[in-house]
Structures are given as structure tokens and as C-alpha cells.
A and B are shown apart, each in its own frame.
Chain A
Amino acid sequence: MDKANILIVDDEMGPRESLKVILKPYFNVYTAERGGQAIEILRQISIDLVTLDMKMPGLSGTKVLEMVKQRDPDIEAIIITGYGSMDTAIEGLRLGAFDYIAKPFDVNHILSLVRRALERRNARLKLRQLKAEFLANISHELRTPLSVVIGFVSILLDQLVGKLSDQQQQILEKVYKNSEELLELVDNVLCLTSLNSGDLSMAEKEFDVEAMVKGSVDRYRKWLEEKGIDLSIQSPAAEIRIVSDPGKVGRIFQNLLHNAIKFTPGGQITVKLHRSINRGVVDLEIIDTGIGIPRDQIEGMFQPFQQLDGSLRREFSGLGLGLTVARRLTDFLGGTLDIRSQANIGTHVLLSVPDKMAARENGAFDQRHQITVS
């Protein structure tokens, strides 16, 4: 097993070097004299644990701890306090430090703390990996038979195995639609589970937003025809390619589109795509002429399992999971989701997804980490 990487942050050479001597035989040790330097090291090296002197000139220990945890909450921190500063210790623990130790410290004590902190980190990472594998298995088990049902029904519906009577067509369409609903439900439940257990990671891939939108729309082609909904996509002539997580953006968009179709008995849905260079985002709008959502219920829609008021529940069956997942995933991506609606007139959804390429080009930091380093 590889040696853990430890970063010692202390402005005083004495304590810094003596701690380095203590830890060096067992770990890979890096040092920093200031908070700013520490953050820079974190950016370049994968650090497992930080020992943090809380009293430093420049960025305070508390601020540095905040920044470390913001960068990667899995990095363990042991804070080193001066004599009689319980407040700093408490603040540090509150921010997620593993423990604190006062100067001058006992060699064995600090070694023990470091070891226990690393053990905790390993256990947590291992658990997360097991959960991810479990979810992957379940996902596969659930999706496989569903995909078979959808696959064969689709072949029948495309009349590739003989012509269908009207009645046969109608029945098969119901089978298809319900299978699709089930698949969406499975995907959303799995997504929410991942979000809740903190197992999600963000992919960074360049992709064509319009292609993704068209793919989603295509999935609902039959449903749209059935409901007599006219869907149009308005996008600029130039291709919109962004760097983000295509899987997640696709899921958010699909959930929003699904809702738009579900709550629009007939009429129009317009999808608009627009890149905002200033804000470094891509705006995806879905505007429908459906039954709308009363304003006081819009926020409520973001809670799982809530769907308008009871009277509509029977007509529009299904869990209100789609919107919850959409909102949670949007937050995860650092985007925004804005919903405006008027009962019986329609709903206007605006999803803004940050373009990581734009962020890179502007020399800005990773969207999640709004840190300025002194």
C-alpha cells in the first residue's frame, strides 16, 4: 500500500521541521509556510492529510481549513493550536478537522492522531467504493430486463414483424410508454440514491448541447405525437459545444422535458438554446403551454414525492422525483434552475449550465472553488 501524502502547514520553522522529522519515516511529507502556499501544493499533489498551525500571518488557519475542506472534504486535517485557544480548536472541529493538538506536542500523540485520521479517511473511501459498486450492480440488474422489454416492443411498434391492427398498436404503445416511465423512474431513483450517499463525481467532457437535446426529444417522439404537442427547438446556427458532465446535464434536461410533456395536455413546447459568453454558461429553456404550477407550489415541487395538489394526483401519476433530481443535479454542477409558471397558461423553465471550457479560458478557478489565494 502506498505511503500517505501529508502536508505540514506552519509558519514557524522549528515546529514545522520537527514535525517533518517525526512523520517522514512513515509518510511522504510536504511542507508549506503559509496558507496560500498550502493551497497551491494541494492543487498539484494529491494530499491525504494536512497538519495545520492555526496561528499564522496572512491567511488564518481557520480560513485555510475552510479552503482545504472546500477543495476536497475528504482531506483529513489535524489542527495545531497555541496554548489556551479552545475557541480556535472548537471552530476547527466544527469545520471538519479530525482533532486538535496543542503546541508543544507529544511525538507519540501526534503520530497516533495522524494514523487514526488516515484510518478514518481510508475507511470512508472504501465504503464509498463499495456503495458505488453496489449501485452499479443494481443499476445493471434493473435496466437489463427493462431494456429487453423496450427493445422488443419497439421492434413490434415499428412493424418490423408484420403489420399491426390499430388496437394492437394502441396496446403496444401503452406497454412501451409505461416501460419507458419505469426506466426513467429507475434512473431517477438511482440518481437520488447516489446524490444522497455523496457518491457522485463530476465528469468533464466536451459535448454538443443541441445533439444532447435532440436525443432527449427523440426519446419522447411517440409520446409527443400521441398528445398532439408541437415541439420546436430554437438554437443558434453555430454549434454549441461545452465542457461539462454530459450524463448529468442530459438527465436534468430529460427530467425537465418529461415534466413539460407530462403537464401539457396538448399545445406547444419550445426548447431554446443559447450560449452566454459573459456568464460562461449555456442556457436551456423549456417553455410549455401546459397546466402550469402555482407559484407557492413551485418550491414544494423540489421536495421528493410531492406533486401539485391531491386532486391532480390521480390524473398525473408518478412520483415527483424528476424535479428533485433535476434541482439536486443542477446544484451539483454549479448551475441554476429557474422556474416560472402560471396556472393554465404554462411553465417556463430556465436551466443554466456552467461551461468549464469558458472557466478554463478565463483563467478562473474550478467553478466549485471560488478561492482567491494571497
Chain B
Amino acid sequence: MTAKKKILVVDDNEDNREILVFRLKQLGFEVLVASNGKEAIETAFQAKPDIILMDLRMPVMDGWEATRALRQTEWGKDLPVVAVTAHAMEEDRRRAFNAGCNEFILKPVMDYSIIHETIQRLVG
């Protein structure tokens, strides 16, 4: 039996975290959470998730910075990161890809099959 894939959900908004955790558990993933970029890096280092769903705008350390920091590390440079954000502006999309995010998903997520498919594509 294959182990469940591990997903780290990063978002400063508790409600958003709760919704994603709910949905991702339903899809059969093991879900970890962090509430800012700094926690994300710490948790990712310890738990080695298969993929990170990263909100961009967060206090302490934002998603762009966290992704950039991740990309500097040996263990994190190839870790798939999907930016999930309410931000609809062009500039943020560009910044996300420049920081090293693999994909960009707009909140609110209406269709979880897209997230599922994206995750499967990136994680294999």
C-alpha cells in the first residue's frame, strides 16, 4: 500500500487553512499546516512534505520570500510549491513564478479537482 502523500498548507488565515485541510484530507492526503513563511520553512525542513500549498501575502515572512529561501536550500530547491492566493493582480503572478513557484492557483478555489490534478502532476 502506497503511503499517503504529504501536503503542507501555508496560510495566515485560520479559516482558509481549515477549508483546505478539510478538502485535502477528503482527497486522501496527509495534511500539515503553517501560518506564515517562517513556520513553513521550519515545518517543511522537519516533515519533508511532498508539496507545499503556499499563500503569498502573510505576516512575519511572506510566501514569495519563503519560496525563495526554500529554493536556496539543498533539501528544498526541488520541492514543488503551488502559490494559492486571493491575489488577482498580474504582478503577483509574475513575482510568484520568479520566486520559484511551480504553479499559481487563484482563491477562492471552486474546483478541487484542479488542485488535485495539479498536485498529482507535480508530485507524480
Contacts and interface: CB of A to CB of B under 8 A. Distances in A.
A151 B86 contact: no
B114 A146 contact: no
Contact of A147 (B16, B22, B57, B94): B16
Contacts, number: 68
Given A136-B89, A143-B88, A160-B26, A151 B16 contact: yes
Contacts of A150: 108, 110
Interface string B19-62: 10011001000000000000000000000000000000100000
Given A143-B107, A146-B108, A148-B16, A187 B88 contact: yes
Nearest to A251: B88
A140 interface: yes
Given A150-B108, A215-B114, A155 B87 contact: no
Interface in B57-99: 57, 85-94
Contacts of A200: 90
A308 interface: no
B13 interface: yes
A218 B112 CA distance: 11
B123 interface: no
A135 B87 CA distance: 10
B113 to A, nearest CB: 8
B111 A218 contact: yes
Given A148-B19, A160-B26, A139 B89 contact: yes
B107 A147 contact: yes
Which has the most chain A C-beta neighbours within 10 Å: B19, B91, B107, B108?
A: B108
A140 B110 contact: no
Given A140-B86, A215-B111, A215-B114, A155 B19 contact: yes
Interface residues of B, number: 25
Contacts of A201: 90
A203 B97 CA distance: 13
A219 B110 contact: yes
Contacts of B93: 203, 247
Interface in B110-124: 110-111, 113-114
Interface of A: 132, 135-136, 139-140, 143-144, 146-148, 150-152, 154-155, 160, 180, 183, 187, 190, 200-201, 203, 215, 218-219, 247
Given A139-B86, A139-B87, 14 more contacts: A135-B89, A136-B87, A136-B92, A144-B16, A146-B108, A147-B86, A148-B15, A148-B19, A151-B109, A152-B19, A154-B110, A180-B110, A201-B90, A218-B113
29 contacts: A132-B89, A135-B89, A136-B89, A136-B91, A136-B92, A139-B86, A139-B87, A139-B89, A140-B85, A143-B88, A143-B108, A144-B13, A144-B16, A146-B108, A147-B16, A147-B86, A148-B15, A148-B108, A151-B19, A151-B109, A155-B19, A160-B22, A180-B110, A183-B108, A200-B90, A201-B90, A203-B90, A219-B111, A247-B88
Closest A-B pairs by Cβ, 5 of them: A147-B108, A151-B19, A143-B86, A148-B15, A136-B89
